[in-house]
Structure 1
Amino acid sequence: MQGENHALMFEFPEYKEKIHDMKMADKAFCSLVDEYHHLDHRIRGLEMAKIPTDDENFRNMKVRRMQLKDEIYEQISK
């Protein structure tokens, strides 16, 4: 669905507090979460502007968001 919010608090509601705590304690993790947040915000903005989904740059951003989400999940689920 275009424009869907993929914020981490919606993706991993059960880890909301842990994500916050890890962001406060680990600068590398905080940078990872910040990159995810900014990329998700940018993707949603482009989707709402009805940017074609066949654009290679747009697809690459979505792939990167998925990679970041996987990295974040790997760290929070330990």
Structure 2
Amino acid sequence: MFPEYRDLITRLKGEGTNARFLHLFEKHNDLDHQVKALEDHDAGGTHAEIETLKREKLRVKDELYAILRQESAAAGT
């Protein structure tokens, strides 16, 4: 996710100073695992449930991207 911001992501995770970023990053990973589990293991999830999770994951990803762009601009990179 966002290879162009790999160093910035590593820095933000390591510093732990942006609580919103950390929360969203963990939420995105959790949603990713939920979607994969439902798709791969036929865990009883309906198509609608999977699509809802995917939409939420995309919303979270958009928020993460906005934070990364803001942090990148603030750092002058």
Contact 2:35 2:54 in 1 (8 A): yes
Q: CA deviation at 1:20?
A: 2.3
Q: CA deviation at 1:50?
A: 3.9
What's the C-alpha RMSD, in Å, of the aligned pairs?
Answer: 2.0
CA distance in 2, matches of 1:52, 1:44: 12
Quick one: structure 1 residues 53 and 45, their matched pair in 2 at CA, closer, same or farther if it must change by over 3 Å?
closer
Contact 2:35 2:53 in 1 (8 A): yes
Q: Where has structure 1 moved over 2 Å in runs of 4 or more? A: 50-55
Q: CA deviation at 1:52?
A: 7.9
**1:12 corresponds to which letter in structure 2?**
F
Larger Rg: 2
Q: TM-score, normalised by structure 1?
A: 0.73
CA distance in 2, matches of 1:33, 1:18: 13
- The corresponding residue for 2:10 is 20
Uncovered stretches (5+) of structure 1, i.e. residues with no partner: 1-10
Q: CA deviation at 1:54?
A: 5.6
Q: CA deviation at 1:51?
A: 5.8
More helix by share: 2
Moved more, 21-30 or 38-47: 21-30
CA distance in 2, matches of 1:66, 1:18: 20
